[in-house]
Structure 1
Amino acid sequence: MAEKKVSLPAKLINGGVAGLVGVTCVFPIDLAKTRLQNQQGARVYSGMLDCLAKTIRAEGYFGMYRGAAVNLTLVTPEKAIKLAANDVFRQQLSRDGKLPLWGEILAGCGAGTCQVVVTTPMEMLKIQLQDAGRLAAQRSVTTTAAPDPAPSLVAPNPTHPASTPRRSATRITLELLQTKGLSGLYRGAGATLLRDVPFSMIYFPLFANLNALGRRAPGCQGDPQERAPFLQSFLAGCTAGSVAAVAVTPMDVIKTRLQTLQKGEGEDSYRGILDCTRRILRREGPAAFLKGATCRALVIAPLFGIAQGVYFLGVGEQVLGLLG
């Protein structure tokens, strides 16, 4: 049987729709992950639930979606590139409809490398917006703990960061381009590669094999391109996503620290991946590299479960069919 060709436009549509649905569902947990990973000295949040509760109390419900506009704008090309590139690489590396494990890993490597072009600036902007509330809360706590001998007429409120002006993604982008050039938007690109390439090398082969379970029974001559049931794709995406997410959490912590431009009082700044690794080890210990691991698993599992479920529904093929 001739192997079906990958319809790239359809895959791009599928990946974009999947990314939009997934991000909308899990963004608050991603915000908690960023804030927890950036805590170095003063502990503003004791955990994910505490972070979300304090965020709602201080910034309102929509405070949990600070930075979501950047993600929703750029997640379409990011997820589309990642999922479509993996499909294209898998097709190119397949022989007689079969793809060995090394081919699955290599395809995942290629997909992770391609997506960094969009992922790095997206996360660079998202992190600044997500972390602003933590910095404001930290300053408020510090001010409350050590009051000014000549107090202001307006008493500080530790749960209300309104005194800190909010910066938009557009403003941050313009500032970075003016001061650092295009490289400013790609700060932490090396750490992003070291996170996303291993993630994809773990995720895509694991997902493909979990998604194929039950369709390789002895004597079964099913179409290798046949879509798995929606629930199977969803669960395979959740499982593979959570395993890959936890595995690369240490590099995600390093990436988050490197991409955070504004630091709180007493928090370290870093010159690169090795300097960041050394300083975290010395100051916070090995456990710091797993900060936000639970949040990350809770973000990535449903994100990729939803993404793969929507992707395998073939929305793109249906849209192109209507347009055709």
Structure 2
Amino acid sequence: MQTSKSFRVDDFIAGWIAGASSVVVGHPLDTVKTRLQAGKGYKNTLHCILTIYRKETVAGFFKGMSFPLASITVYNSAVFGFFSNTQRLISNYRYGDGRHPCSMLDLTVASMLTGLMSVSLGAPVDLVKIRLQMQTQMFLAENLHLAGNVSNGTNIRLRSVSIPSQQQLYRGPIHCISSILQTEGLQGLYRGAGAMILRDVPGYTLYFIPYAIFCDLLSPDNTSSPHPCSIWLAGGLAGSISWVTATPADVVKSRMQADAQLQRKYKGILHCIIHSYKTEGVQVFFRGASVNAIRGFPMSSTMFLTYELSLRFFRGL
């Protein structure tokens, strides 16, 4: 991916296009993953999928997608642009040539720096996305609690204790951001950012490095431009590996971000980990791992393939 010593803008443009394609492919399973990790009442992945479909139809799987579609394109642009240009800077600093192939150590440093940078942009995006994905469940849970935890067999309506709906339901991304700023302040948009750092710094390392390794293995002739099939497979495998290994930190992040101001449960990362472990056991930290593995493949394969093909197009102009 290094073709110039200088700063490249086309990496950012290609990342923007790749981000849009990955959101469309991955959002339905991302909704399932979020519900499994931060929601209640789902027995397994299939039960979660069927429950969402029965109660919310197909639209339920795309809840909260408009904001990621608009923002993750920018986020992904920053991630790929930052990673590629960081590689060139490292190569230029260490070898005097920005086109010099990066060593495994160079890739690791670039990946970790990318993961750290991504949190500053990704934390608010993830927070809003998760709040929008979870708002139906949060609304029901809070009404159940205030109604005295009534059972489903009673005739007491869930709204027997009324709360203004705007305190529990977000009308959209802008209203969600506005509500969070009003109730939690600017720091509220970065709730769960610590857990996101624990997820993304090692997560991006186990994202870009496996991708580079698989591309090399699938391109035995060492050509500068891997075949699209090799890119697709390498990207999918790298995505599955990264998301599965990041699942424990992702569970903590999702729970921290889904934690509503009205019914705040977790005081911090450590409290979230301890509380989750005591109440649900160690298996809770691997909830959604199968969804992450399945979702990670098509989302990442689409992302890397679109990114690489976009780069070839722009650099061929």
TM range (shorter): 0.7 to 0.9
Change (3 A) 1:181 1:320: farther
Task: Name stretches of at least 5 consecutive residues in structure 1 with no aligned partner.
Answer: 156-163
Percent identity reads: 28
Q: Provide TM-score, normalisation by structure 2.
A: 0.85
CA distance in 2, matches of 1:259, 1:320: 42
CA distance in 2, matches of 1:258, 1:213: 39
**8 Å contact kept, 2:219–2:230:** no
**Is 1:32 matched up with 2:28?**
no
TM-superposed deviation, 1:7: 6.0
Q: Look up the match of 1:249.
A: 247
Q: Look up the match of 2:184.
A: 180
Q: Provide TM-score, normalisation by structure 1.
A: 0.83
CA distance in 1, matches of 2:312, 2:125: 24
**8 Å contact kept, 1:19–1:303:** no
Q: Look up the match of 2:304.
A: 308
Change (3 A) 1:167 1:44: farther
TM-superposed deviation, 1:3: 5.3
TM-superposed deviation, 1:202: 1.3
**8 Å contact kept, 1:67–1:126:** yes
Letter in 1 for 2:245: A
Change (3 A) 1:213 1:319: closer
The 5 Å alignment of 1:109-120 reads 109-120=112-123
CA distance in 1, matches of 2:128, 2:58: 21
TM-superposed deviation, 1:263: 8.6
CA distance in 2, matches of 1:60, 1:140: 23
| Aligned match for 1:72, one of 59, 69, 86 | 69
Specify the SS of the correspondent of 2:9: helix
Q: Look up the match of 1:281.
A: 277
Count of residue pairs the alignment pairs up: 300
| Aligned match for 2:52, one of 52, 55, 61 | 55
CA-atom RMSD in angstroms: 2.9
Letter in 2 for 1:178: Q
Task: Name stretches of at least 5 consecutive residues in structure 2 with no aligned partner.
Answer: 161-167
CA distance in 1, matches of 2:169, 2:199: 32
Specify the SS of the correspondent of 1:8: coil
TM-superposed deviation, 1:10: 1.2
Letter in 2 for 1:313: L
CA distance in 1, matches of 2:170, 2:264: 23
Q: Look up the match of 2:165.
A: none
